[in-house]
Structure 1
Amino acid sequence: MEIIKIKDDFIKLGQAMKLAGLADEGAEAKSLIQDGLVKVNGETDARRGRKLYEGDIFSFDGKDVKIVK
């Protein structure tokens, strides 16, 4: 499981995908999220603006990424 460390209270899902290297640009992240290919805490979420907080885990293409502060 990959770890993303954040400085603020949250990070948006699209930004987190780019930071984790799962999307090259925002448009790609948006498309993947809206197509229902990304799960947050085990549930599909189609909002790229979804806020992720410490302890949240998102998954894409068999890779899990955990948010830590």
Structure 2
Amino acid sequence: MESVDDVEIRDESIRLGQFLKLANLIDTGADAKLVIADGLVTVNDAVEVRRGRQLRDGDVVELGGITVRVKAGANNGEH
């Protein structure tokens, strides 16, 4: 089984296209649009074609054999 890296987000949720950039899986928003439209991205083991799909803590995203997990940030009003 491949390792899964956690990628922390600031808020409770993030759009898929933004998350792909944050996780360094793609370089630009245009790249996100292309890989998502081509069906190359999975969320929780299901192909996702909506760039605006909201991801939340614990969601697992895979692209090109790289798997990352969404980790909601600790600065959601807590210190």
Give TM-score scaled by structure 2 length: 0.84
Q: Percent identity?
A: 45
Across the aligned residues of Structure 1 and Structure 2, the Cα RMSD in angstroms comes to 0.7
Q: Determine the C-alpha separation between the residues in 2 that align with 1:3 and 1:30.
A: 22
Structure 1 stretches of 4+ with a deviation exceeding 6 A read: none
Structure 2 portions without partners, runs of 5+: 73-79
> Does residue 23 of structure 2 align to residue 20 of structure 1?
yes
Q: Determine the C-alpha separation between the residues in 2 that align with 1:61 and 1:2.
A: 14
**Larger radius of gyration, structure 1 or 2?**
2
Q: Determine the C-alpha separation between the residues in 1 that align with 2:42 and 2:26.
A: 15
The equivalent residue for 2:50 is 47
Structure 1 portions without partners, runs of 5+: none
